[in-house]
Amino acid sequence: MAELTHIPTWAECQAQGRLPEVLFWVGCAGSFDDRAKKITKAFAKLLQSSQVSFAVLGAEESCTGDPAKRAGNEFLFQMQALMNIEVLNGYGVGKIVTTCPHCFNTLKNEYPDLGGRYEVMHHTQFLKDLMTSGRLKVEGGHFRGKKITYHDPCYLGRANGEYEAPRVLLSALEMELTEMKRCKSKGLCCGAGGAQMFKEPEKGHKDINIERTEEALSTGSAMIATGCPFCNTMMTDGVKNDPQERSTPVMDIAELIAQAADL
C-alpha cells in the first residue's frame, strides 16, 4: 500500500514560486468526518500517483456555506462564500476539484454571482479525464467481475447532469454495474441534501435513506458505490438497518480505484 507524501498548502506553493495545476477543495466532511477522511486520502493518493501538481488551502479553507444556504440562512451563506472567494481570488486559483458534490455545486454555480469564477470539477470527472489522457491507469484488480450498484448523488446528477463519469470509471474497473430502478435523472435522494444531514428526519412511514438503501440491496450487488461523502454516510446507516443483516460495503469510487491499484 502506497503512503501519502506531504500535501502542500497553496500558500506553501506560492512561497516557493510554484503554481499548482489544481486546488483540491477538501470540504468539511472530508476534513472532519472519520469515514470521509478515507475518501480524501484515497483521492489524494490517486492524484499523487498520477503526478498531478495539487495543493489544499489547509486552515484557510472554510465551509462553502452550502448547509447554511439550504437551511435558509442566506446571510450566513454569503458571509462564508465571500470569505472563501477572497482567499481563492487572492491566490489566483483557477481550477478546483472536490470529492463533495455539495461543494462542487456551490462553488460551480453559486460563487460566480458573488465574484468567484473558477473551473470546478467533481473528482469523478477529474479522474475520468486523468484516465482518458493516460495519466491514471485504472484496472479491475480484485474488484474485476464483482457486481455493484451506483447511487447518483443529487448535486452531481440531477443538479449538474453528470451521470457518465462515475459509470465510465466503474466500467474501467471491469465491475458488473447493476442499476437501481430509480437511477440517473430519476434517482432517489439519499436523504442528506438540503441540510437534512444535520437534523433528525420528520416523522413518516420510512426514512428516505432506508428506502434508498433497500433499493440498492435489492439489486443483489456485492457493494454500493457512491460519489459523495453525505450519500456514503446515509447509505452506510441504511445498510446497518438491513433486517437480513447483510454487511454490504459502501465505497466511494475513488476508494475503489485506489484499492484496485493497491494504493
What average pLDDT score do residues 67-82 get? 96
CA distance 97 to 65: 17
pLDDT at 1: 61
What average pLDDT score do residues 75-79 get? 98
Task: For residue 103, give the CATH number of its domain.
Answer: 3.40.50.1860
Domain end call among 67, 102, 129: 129
Name which of 126, 115, 15, 107 is nearest 61 in CA terms.
107
Say yes or no: 112 and 225 in one domain: no
Those residues with Cβ within 8 angstroms of residue 235's Cβ, 6 or more apart along the chain or in another chain: 151, 190, 209, 212, 213, 216, 224, 226, 250
Say yes or no: 158 and 248 in one domain: yes
pTM: 0.95
Mean pLDDT (the chain) is 94
Which string of b and e fits 186-221 if b means at least 16 CB within 10 Å?
ebbbbbbbebbbeeeeeeeeebbbbbbbbbbbebeb
Confidence at 121, pLDDT banded by 50, 70, 90: very high
Domain count, the chain: 2
Q: Average the pLDDT over each of 87-91, 108-112, 201-205 and give the range with the smallest value.
A: 201-205
| Cell triple for 123 | 473528482
What average pLDDT score do residues 225-249 get? 92
What average pLDDT score do residues 174-190 get? 96
Please report, rounded to a whole number, the percentage of residues in the chain having pLDDT higher than 70: 97
Top-confidence residue, 204 or 35: 35
pLDDT at 80: 98
Say yes or no: 146 and 125 in one domain: no
Q: Is residue 3 part of a domain?
A: no
Confidence at 114, pLDDT banded by 50, 70, 90: very high
**pLDDT of 244 over the 90 cut:** no
* Domain ranges, residue 16: 10-129
